[in-house]
Amino acid sequence: MLPYMELDDLRFFMKKCQITRGFDTLEEIYLYNWVDEAQKSMIFQTGVVVNQVNTNTLPSTKFKLVHLPALKVCSILYIGPFPYQKNSGWQKISWERRAAEAGYKYTEVLYRELYHRYDFGGRNQHVTEIEISIN
């Protein structure tokens, strides 16, 4: 997954084509669209929220602008180190259990990580919102 999480080429493309990230939006979005069920085959997408773009003026590229449909999700905010960093609490999130405790069932259609803020220069208190599709 790591090569797909590296977005330097996307940022370069956006700069070259004068595509701007939306004001006061997420740093990055990771979408795990399950094809079968959770933790099996999936379509993985990474990207950012952008301002309005005239797609007719864009050169042919490997990047694609997509409009995401509305989806009912259970959202959990995590503030702290990532799984690979010291003192991470990521493994204790228990998002599926928490959704069930709130009376929802995880549909195993989508798992999404929304990166609101990075804190690599501080105490690694990154702000990540985790969303799971529910019904």
Give the H/E segment covering residue 10.
helix 8-16
Structure tokens at 86: 């010291």
Pick the CATH number of 2-134 from 3.40.309.10, 2.60.120.260, 3.20.80.10, 3.40.50.720: 3.20.80.10
In sequence order, what are the residues at sequence separation of 6 or more whose Cβ sits closer than 8 angstroms to the Cβ of residue 53? 19, 65
Asked whether the whole model's pTM tops 0.75, one would answer yes
Query: What are the angstrom distances between the C-alpha of 66 and each of 54, 55, 63, 76?
Result: 13, 11, 10, 24
Task: Report which secondary-structure segment, H or E, holds 31.
Answer: strand 28-34
Residue-level pLDDT at 117: 94
Q: Looking at beta carbons, which pairs linking 16-19 to residues 24 or more positions away fall under 8 Å?
A: 17/57, 17/58, 17/59, 19/50, 19/51, 19/53
Whole-number Å distance between alpha carbons of 4 and 45: 8
- pLDDT tens for the chain, residues 1 to 135: 567 778 899 899 999 999 999 888 888 999 988 888 777 888 888 889 999 998 888 888 888 888 777 888 988 899 999 999 999 998 898 888 888 899 999 888 888 999 999 999 999 999 999 999 998
Backbone Cα Rg of the chain:
16
